[in-house]
Every structure is written in structure tokens, then in C-alpha cells.
Copies of this chain bind each other. A is one copy, B any other.
Amino acid sequence: MEALPRETIVDVLEDRLRTDILDGLHPAGSYLPPERRLADGYGVTRTTLKHAFGRLAQAGLLETRHGVGTRVRDYARLGGADLLPMLVRHDSGWVREVFEVRRGVGALIAERAAERGTRPQRAELGALLAALPRAEGADAVQLADVEVHRALARATGNRVYVLLTNTLFNAYLPVRSLLQGPFTDPEAAHRRLAPVVEAVTAGDARRAREAADTYLRDTERIMLEGLA
């Protein structure tokens, strides 16, 4: 089982605000109504509204100035990758673009991991890969797959690749139930991924890059078949 979190008012409100913004109800650059009025409109306290504002501001969607107001940032132009989860949830058209980037970055990571992975890191990769076909259910297989990629990112020795990998995963893990195609058959998933780990373990950078590219292309194709 898995403990699923309750949905607080702030959560709901944040979602609603985000939707309203991304739908264009409050266009980029425009000011939101004053907090008092907006809180009244949504039937919540100003305090609660401010909590939701705080999150959206942290995410880069809003920008508040004391004495002036709160306005919608031009997120498409200036926003960071941490907006992806909400953008993907709001419009699945982003998924394809996320995957393309994932492919490019994944290839870089495999290359670096092959060049610089330490012995224990390679051993961990092997263990995680071996655990994959033992997972039960497509969801578990997918998560086991994710763990292998996290380990690959760690093996680059560059912590930023780890964070970047997490960001890209965060972007589509919330909608992962729609993308389980590649993971319904644990054996097949294992076969696709194995060459990447093999090349990295062997320390062959060029082959690792190519294997990662192939793996990501295949996985992406199978995932998107499920969407179409």
C-alpha cells in the first residue's frame, strides 16, 4: 500500500489558481485582483490565499510586490524547469518535448557515467538493473527503471545531473499511469535497458551514449503509442 496524501484547501486553491492562470484567465504580465477581493471570491481567508500565492510565487508563476499587487510572470519566457510538473499536468502536449530533452540529457549522462563511474557505482547499477525484472506490476517496474536512471546520474559524479534527472522525472511521473506501455513486460524492459548499463559498466563512453539514445528512443516510442 501507499499512503496517499490528503488534499488540503491550499492544495485545491493552488490548483485552481494555476489552472486559471495557465488557461489564460490571468494573462502573463497582468495583475491579479487584490488579495482581499480574490480571497473573498474563492471563499477562503486571505491567509490561506497567501499560502497558495507563496507556492506559486516560489514556482515562478507569480510575482508579488508590497504595496502594488501580485502579477503573473511570463513563465513561458522566464520560468524554470520546476514548472514542468504543473505544465505537463495542465497540457499533455508538453510530454513529447520533455522526452526529447530527456533523450539528449540521458545520452550525456550515460556518456559521463561510462567515463567516470566508480566501481561501487557500477556495482549498484548492476544490482538495480537485476532488481528490475523482479518488480511486480507495471508501476513497480517503471519505478525500478527510474531508480536505475537516478543511479546513472549519480555515477556521473556531477550532482547537477542528479537534480536534472529528478526534474525531468518529476515532470512526467505524475502522469505516469498513462505511460506504462514500456513497463508491462518486465523482461522486455530489462532487455531494453541492459545494454546501457552494460556499456557504462564497461567504461565505453561512445557505446553508452548510443545505447542510451536507443533505449530512450524505444521507450519514448512505446510510451507515446499509448497516448495516441
A residues with a Cβ closer than 8 A to B are 5-6, 8, 10, 47, 50-51, 54-55, 57-59, 65-66, 76-84, 94, 97-98, 100-101, 104-105, 108, 112, 150, 158-164, 166-167, 170-171
Residues of B within 8 A of A57 (CB): 55
Of listed A81, A105, A112, residue having the most chain B CB within 10 A: A81
The residue on B at minimum CB distance from A88 is B160
Is B97's CB under 8 angstroms from A159's CB? Answer: yes
A-B contact pairs, 8 of them (CB 8 A): A51-B54, A78-B166, A80-B81, A81-B81, A97-B159, A97-B160, A101-B161, A104-B105
Interface of A is mostly: helix
Whether B167 and A82, one on each chain, are in contact in the complex, defined by CB atoms closer than 8 angstroms, is yes
- Number of copies of this kind of chain in the complex: 2
Give 3 closest A-B pairs by Cβ, nearest first.
Answer: A82-B82, A80-B167, A58-B58
Q: Would B166 and A79 count as touching, CB distance under 8 A?
A: yes
Whether A100 contacts B54 in the complex (CB less than 8 A), given A66-B8, A167-B80, comes out as no
Given A47-B47, A58-B58, A59-B58, A162 contacting B77 (CB threshold 8 A): yes
B65, B76, B161: the one within 8 Å of A162 (CB): B76
Report chain B residues within 8 Å CB of A79: 163, 166
Q: Is the CB of B51 within 8 A of A81?
A: no
